[in-house]
Every structure is written in structure tokens, then in C-alpha cells.
Amino acid sequence: MRRVGIIGTGRIAGSLARALVALPDVEIAGLAGRGPDRVAALARATGVPVCSADEVTRAADLLLILVSDGAIGPVAAELAASADLPGGDDQAGLAARWVVHCAGSWGPEVLAPLTARGWEAATWHPLQAFPTAQSSPMIGATWTITSDDEPLAAYLEALTGQLHGRPHRLAAQHRAAYHAAAVMAANYPAALVAHAVAVLGDCGFPPDRAVQALLPLAHGALDALSEAGVPGGLTGPVMRGDVATITSHLRILDERPDT
């Protein structure tokens, strides 16, 4: 059984704590974070003990650092500076010490202060949004894994399966391109709909009505992609080769330099 420690109280920390505590072969050794009220609330919701960051690190053989992207390195450095930090093979019979973060834009190198103390590191990133700390890992969501340690990578693959996700090994040199693609898929549709709302505003639609009018169309487009893929799920004048309609659209958009 893996003893998992969690540092962080944000959305992904709360979501993973709730998901992992339900697994039969995972024991949550402790939870630590900067906000006492948030730590206490998450501990009550999951039945996980509250500890200091040092206590969690000593108790766990798999440490999840689930803080904001910019804080991962400083937290790792702070933990590594502890004189009594257990190393990767300090204790006979104890499973290898592993440390993992879930930031899409960083590889395991951000955890270098801990790997210098003998720990093995990995990035384990879910390709899904966690709107709240109560959100669950989505069935079928892809989780990318980057690690030089094969046992750790294999364990994260198995853990992803237990969470009903799909694991994918991602080479370190591809992380930036991968994260750019994730941002495109997550954020660009909202940006495009925002521009469409502005165009409908010229047609007499109030902003809230414009959003309501466009959302079924946007949902339908994503459903079509899910069913037919690319380019099969694409529709509209481009797929029909309707040059006259496309020309009229371009003329309208040329009149809106901000669109």
C-alpha cells in the first residue's frame, strides 16, 4: 500500500484527495497547506489528518506537491532543506520515495532539490479542468506522465487507470508544445465565442442573450468532434466550399479590426 502525502489545498488538491482516499491500496498519510481554514475543511471532507509539510514529507512514500505552478520549485527547495528529510533509500523495507506534481507546463526538473536528496520525480498532469475542489477526475480523461524513473511512471499509469483515466507517457522535450495544445483546446473556444458575442451585439443581441444563443451551437460543435473527429466533425461554409458566404464573412470581420 502506498502512503500518499498531499501538500496543497487548491482545486486539484481537493479533487485528488477525495478521489485517492477512496482507493483500497492508497493511504493518505497527511495533508498540509498554507491556509489553516482550507486545510481543516479539506481534512474534514476526506478524513485525512492535518500535518505540517515536514510531517507529511516524512510520513509519505509518494508526495504530491499540488500547489500553484510558481510555488512548486520553492516548496521543493524548502522541503529539501530539512535536515531530517528521508532520502530515497534511507529506510530499509520502505518503498522508494517519490515526489510528483501536476502542473502541465513544468517537467520533473522543477523538483530537482528533492531529487538531489535521493527522491525520484515525475510530472502527472490531467488533461481536464477542475472547476472546484469537489470536482472528480473525469472518466476517460488523459493524464500525461513524464519521469526518468520507470517504477514511478508505471505506478502513475496504474493509478491513472484506477481513476478511470487514460495514461500517456510524454517525453520531457514535448512538454511545452503539449501544454500549448492544452491551452488552445481549453481557452481558445471561449475566446472565439467572446468574439462571436461581440459580433451578435451588432445584430441587436444583449451579451447575455448572445451567449445563450451561441452555447448550443458551441456544444454541438464539440459533440460533432467527439463523434466524428477531425475533419469529419467540422461543418459550415468552409467544409461546403461556399466561397460566396466566406467572402461575406470576411468582409464583415474586416469592419471589426478587434475581431
Burial class (CB in 10 A: 0-12, 13-18, 19+), 232: exposed
Q: How far is CA 136 from the centre of its chain?
A: 12
User: Is residue 158 located within the same domain as residue 79?
Assistant: yes
User: Is residue 77 located within the same domain as residue 205?
Assistant: no
* Residue 12 contacts residue 126 (beta carbons within 8 Å): yes
Residue 146 falls within a domain, yes or no? yes
User: Is residue 150 located within the same domain as residue 231?
Assistant: no
User: Is residue 185 located within the same domain as residue 103?
Assistant: no
pLDDT tens readout for residues 179-221: 999 999 999 999 999 999 999 999 999 999 999 999 999 999 9
Residue 259 falls within a domain, yes or no? no
User: Is residue 161 located within the same domain as residue 196?
Assistant: no
Residue 80 falls within a domain, yes or no? yes
* Entry pTM: 0.86
Q: Which three cell numbers stand for residue 106?
A: 513544468
Q: What is the spatial distance between Cα 153 and Cα 13, in angstroms, rounded to a whole number?
A: 20
Residue 160 falls within a domain, yes or no? yes
User: Is residue 59 located within the same domain as residue 81?
Assistant: yes
Residue 235 falls within a domain, yes or no? yes
Residue 11 falls within a domain, yes or no? yes
User: Is residue 118 located within the same domain as residue 181?
Assistant: no
The total domain count for the chain is 2
* Tens-digit pLDDT string for the chain (259 aa): 889 999 999 999 999 999 999 999 999 999 999 888 888 888 888 888 899 998 999 889 999 999 999 999 999 999 998 756 766 554 443 456 999 999 999 999 999 999 999 999 999 999 998 888 788 889 999 999 999 999 999 999 999 999 999 999 999 999 999 999 999 999 999 999 999 999 999 999 999 999 999 999 999 998 888 888 888 888 888 888 889 998 998 998 888 877 6
User: Is residue 154 located within the same domain as residue 185?
Assistant: no
Could you tell me the residue range of the domain that residue 180 belongs to? 176-254
Write the single-letter amino acid at 215: L
String of DSSP letters for 108-164? GGGGHHHHTTT-EEEEEEESS---STTPPPPTT-EEEEE-S-HHHHHHHHHHHHHTT
